[in-house]
């Protein structure tokens, strides 16, 4: 953790220990709790966040265990509900958690696969994102070379599979949904493709529009309105 000075410089750098292979640090929409998924430890660490002081205090319980071998990688919060979606890299699943805003504790109530039924080849996932209106969630499969789409239940926040959308190239390292929610951009790390999809606002289906060659090694894509 670090503080920014009035001039924008990073000052007062502080360190805190985590489990093995932490892959993200996310603060919930209430700005009260922070979560660190530790891929190598198969757990999510939970902290109370003081936005004024910038401090982290472990909550009780401090750790939410995931399935053994799941490999929690990245997480996102529902746009309007106290729900968290955790992408598990090693077993290619998404686990859906309820977030207790009093304690910061997590309780899982759904786990879904990101791969087609019966798929047995090697694959692991990378990023996951939700459309701005909260209706659809997508996650990228590396190996299966696809983006899996889900409809988000308006009441419960549960996920219902829409389908799998093939991405040309190899190894979808990153993707981004631009702020209007109309387009999705997927970056292939090994083949160097930047693929543009349109998002159907009614069905959530993706339609490939364009492929741009950027050179191998592309690691991240961020789509923003300037």
Q: What is the pLDDT of residue 1?
A: 65
- Distance, CA of 202 to CA of 184 (rounded, Å): 15
Write the DSSP assignment of 41-52 as a string of letters: TTEEEEEEEETT
Look at residue 82 in the predicted model and tell me its pLDDT: 94
pLDDT tens digits for range 3-62: 776 777 877 777 878 899 999 999 998 999 999 999 999 999 999 998 888 889 999 889
- pLDDT of 74 > 70? The answer is yes
- For residue 168, pLDDT over 90 is answered with no
Cis ω on the peptide bond leading into residue 171 (within 30° of 0)? no
- Residue % of the chain over a pLDDT of 90: 70
Mean pLDDT of 130-139: 96
160's tokens: 């219902």
pLDDT number for residue 88? 97
């Amino acid at each position: 953790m670090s503080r920014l000075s009035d001039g924008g410089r990073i000052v007062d750098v502080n360190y805190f220990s985590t489990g093995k292979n932490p892959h993200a640090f996310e603060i919930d929409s209430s700005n009260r709790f922070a979560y660190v998924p530790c891929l190598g430890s198969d757990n999510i660490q939970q902290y109370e966040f003081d936005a004024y002081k910038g401090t982290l205090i472990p909550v009780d319980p401090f750790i939410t265990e995931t399935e053994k071998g799941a490999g929690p990688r990245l997480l996102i919060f529902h746009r309007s509900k106290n729900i968290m979606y955790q992408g598990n890299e090693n077993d290619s699943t998404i686990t859906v958690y309820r977030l207790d805003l009093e304690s910061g504790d997590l309780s899982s109530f759904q786990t879904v696969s990101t791969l087609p039924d019966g798929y047995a080849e090697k694959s692991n996932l990378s990023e996951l994102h939700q459309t701005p209106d909260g209706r659809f969630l997508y996650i990228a499969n590396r190996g299966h070379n696809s983006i899996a789409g889900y409809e988000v239940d308006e009441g419960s926040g549960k996920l219902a599979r829409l389908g799998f959308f093939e991405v040309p190239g190899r190894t979808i390292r990153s993707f981004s949904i631009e702020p209007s929610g109309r387009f999705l951009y997927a970056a292939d790390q090994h083949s160097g493709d930047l693929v543009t999809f349109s998002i159907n606002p009614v069905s959530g289906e993706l339609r490939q529009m364009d492929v741009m060659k950027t050179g191998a090694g592309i690691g991240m894509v961020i789509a923003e309105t300037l």
